[in-house]
Amino acid sequence: MSDVLAAAPHHAGHATEQVPEATKRRKRFGVATILSVLWLTAITLGALLAPFLSLHPDDSNADLKELSPFQDMAHPLGGDANGRDMLARLIYGARYSLFIAVLAVLFGVLIGGVLGLISGYYRGRIGNALVSLFDILLAIPQLVLALALVAVLKGDPTKTDGFHLPVVLILILALGIVSIPILARITRANTLTWSQRDFVTAARAQGAKDSRIMIREVLPNVVPAMVSIALLGIGVAIVAEGGLALLGAGVEPPAATWGTMIATGRASLDTSPFIVMEPVAAIFFTVLSLNYLGDAIRDRFDVRESAL
């Protein structure tokens, strides 16, 4: 009997030590997440510091025309068909690609987040009407919808007497509108779950207003899912901008995005495929990193009630 009593505290103490260790393992970032953060940090710093670097993305040099990578270490990524440094254009292309994608998704998060929060909290006519709107927008192919929005916002380019929005702003608005329904859907799904929890019911019982409950009680629990899907949305926006550039709806020269670099490099695809493959690789690694980071944020801040 004494042996059993002596062993009991040991087992209890061992069990209590397992919970913090399991939590620590769950919150530990993996190698893929660390590499993703490093890549995104490097791309972002390069885009922000590009004006302070000795880069000349628009200067043409006959010696750099279709120069293969690593033949000249002063231009390690070679030159395009017009003799422009590929490394400089990739860095400056990141400025436009990231700027357009991030602002478009922020616009989508603001509008879609508010609409998703309202449609998830109010389940009557307002919620049903908003859900129907989301379904209609999601039924339209995103690239087709974005191209139509760009065409409408640009207006008639032959008219010089009217007011014309900058192309970058048009792309931000078009991609932002396209991202609204998916972001609203994710927000609504999480709002439906959290608005039925006991602490929300208790807040209602205490006489709290709906606006306070949505902002103070529901929204903080929905934000992690919104951030996770927003990171994925930035990757989708970068790819969508590239698709628009291939269709001739990208930024106007001499400005360059990764999408316009792919579009202009198609003519040299047979002779110098690296002109296209380098911006494709930049898009691939950026989108992959955003996906890994979004999953890591979701796993880190996701509430597991069974572990409480």
CATH number at residue 203: 1.10.3720.10
Residue 118 lies in a domain: yes
**Neighbouring-strand partners of residue 79:** 85
Q: How far apart are CA 105 and CA 183, in angstroms?
A: 9
276 within a domain of the structure (yes/no): yes
- pTM exceeding 0.85: no
pLDDT tens for each residue of 249-305? 888 877 889 999 999 888 888 888 999 999 999 999 999 999 988 888 877 766 444
Tell me which residue range forms the domain holding 128: 85-303
Digit-coded pLDDT (tens) for 44-54: 999 899 888 87
Would 70 be classed as within a structural domain?
Answer: no
Decide if 40 is inside a domain: no
- Between the alpha carbon of residue 268 and those of residues 40, 142, 196, 264, the distances in Å are 29, 29, 58, 8
Q: Is residue 74 part of a domain?
A: no
Specify if 16 maps to a domain. no
Q: Is 46 within the bounds of a domain?
A: no
Looking at the 3D structure of the chain, how many domains does it have?
A: 1
Could you give the angle at which helices 274-301 and 86-121 cross, rounded to 10 degrees?
40
| Ranges of residues in the chain whose predicted pLDDT is under 50 | 1-23, 25, 303-308
Amino acid at 305: E
DSSP 8-state code for residue 85: B
Decide: residue 192, CB within 10 A, 0-12 exposed, 13-18 middle, 19+ buried.
middle
212 domain residue, yes or no: yes
CB 231 within 8 A of CB 106: no
